[in-house]
Amino acid sequence: MIDYSAVIASVFHFWYLIPIILLLMFFKTPFAKGIFGEFLVNLTVNLRLDKKKYHLLKNVTLPTEGGTTQIDHIIVSQYGIFVIETKNMKGWIFGGEHQKTWTQKIYKHTNKFQNPLHQNYKHTKTIESLLDLETDKIFSIVTFVGESTFKTEMPKTVTQGGGFISFINSKTNKILSQSEVHKIVSMIENGQLSKSRKTNKAHVKHVKKIVKDKESTSICPKCGSDLVLRVAKQGVNKGNKFYGCSSYPKCRHTAQII
């Protein structure tokens, strides 16, 4: 028979370990990793870029036609506007500029995630629309922080650690006036939604809806591979279009076109 009093006594004896365990569990969540990744980028910008020349705006939520978009960092300078998407990930990273999804591999575990270049494209287009600026004045940067290794060749706008600073410093032509810089900073600050729990909650809800809609037509729910548009070649549905798993015949999942 279990001596419950002894178990309870042991728990109370090591009570101080409970907050530590909970804290360690929290730091492993995607939310905490995101916050820490953004903190590292903030710190790097503050230490390595001249604050008089580069103006940092962080955690900016802007309204879009279909909802909202949330941008990790925007750096405004006379050398252009730099829109930064941060990924705090570890393991091997596989991806191509035009692929819908990239792959993270940690030992035998494989995880697919949205191509961050595509994700940041929406951010840059939102900024472009808000400011009514030419495309060549806005630069998209993706930076990976954490212990990750690229296993495929990446575009120069995809960086690791503080590599995004080198990309920013490589832009030496002044394409905006000082007055334009101040005006742009003001427009973004006035155009963004208030930084509140309500704003974050609404944005998360919007993102979940987008992910759900995309998964129903682009990601195989069985194996995580891309779904591709196919045409039935035989049977009663001959000639009809449908979504089929790109891993066929290994995976035979199909989905109707909604």
| 161 in a structural domain | yes
Residue 46, in any domain of the structure: yes
Domain that holds residue 243: 219-255
238 and 212 co-located in one domain: no
| pLDDT, tens only, 70-79 | 898 999 999 9
Domain contains 5: no
Looking at the fold, whether 187 and 229 belong to one and the same domain comes out as no
d(CA 145, CA 189): 26
- Both 146 and 63 in a single domain? yes
Largest Cα separation within the chain, whole Å, is 79
Residues 138 and 244 reside in one and the same domain: no
* Residue 13 or 75, more confident: 75
23 lies in some domain: no
- Going by the DSSP 8-state scheme, the letter that residue 152 receives in this structure is S
Q: How many residues does the chain have?
A: 258
Distance CA 8, CA 10 (A): 5
pTM score, whole prediction: 0.68
Higher pLDDT: 8 or 153? It is 153
Averaged pLDDT, 82-110: 91
Backbone angles phi, psi at 4, to 5 degrees: -65, -30
Task: Report which DSSP code applies to 113.
Answer: E
CA gap 118, 227 in Å, rounded: 18
Whether 98 and 87 map to the same domain: the answer is yes
Whether 64 is covered by a domain: the verdict is: yes
Is the confidence at residue 4, as pLDDT, over 70? Answer: no
Tell me what pLDDT residue 30 has. 55
Given a cut of 80, whether residue 215 has pLDDT beyond it is: no
Q: Per-residue pLDDT averaged across 154-168, rounded?
A: 93
- Looking at the fold, whether 79 and 179 belong to one and the same domain comes out as yes
What's the number of domains the chain is made of? 2
Tell me, yes or no, whether 17 lies in a domain. no
CA distance linking residue 194 with residue 143, whole number of Å: 26
Q: Do 75 and 173 belong together in one domain?
A: yes
- Tell me: do 175 and 131 sit in the same domain: yes
Task: Identify whether residues 228 and 201 lie together within a single domain.
Answer: no
pLDDT surpasses 90 at 239:
no
Burial 71-83 (b: 16+ CB within 10 A, else e): bbbbbbbebbbbb
Tokens of 173: 């032509």
156 and 200 in a common domain: yes
Share of the chain above pLDDT 90, in %: 40
165: pLDDT strictly greater than 60: yes
Mean pLDDT of 154-171: 94
Q: Which of residues 19 and 177 earns the better pLDDT score?
A: 177
Q: Report the chain's mean pLDDT, rounded to a whole number.
A: 80
Is the pLDDT reported for residue 187 higher than 60? yes
Is the pLDDT assigned to residue 207 strictly greater than 70?
A: no
Do residues 47 and 171 both lie within one domain?
yes
**Of 218 and 26, which is predicted with more confidence?**
218
- Please tell me whether residues 232 and 144 are part of one structural domain: no
Identify whether 12 is part of a domain.
Answer: no
Instruction: Tell me the pLDDT band of 42, cut-offs 50, 70 and 90.
Output: confident
pLDDT of residue 39 exceeding 50: yes
User: Which of 217, 174, 196 is CA-nearest to residue 77?
Assistant: 174
- Residue 241 placed within a domain: yes
What pLDDT score was predicted for residue 16?
A: 54
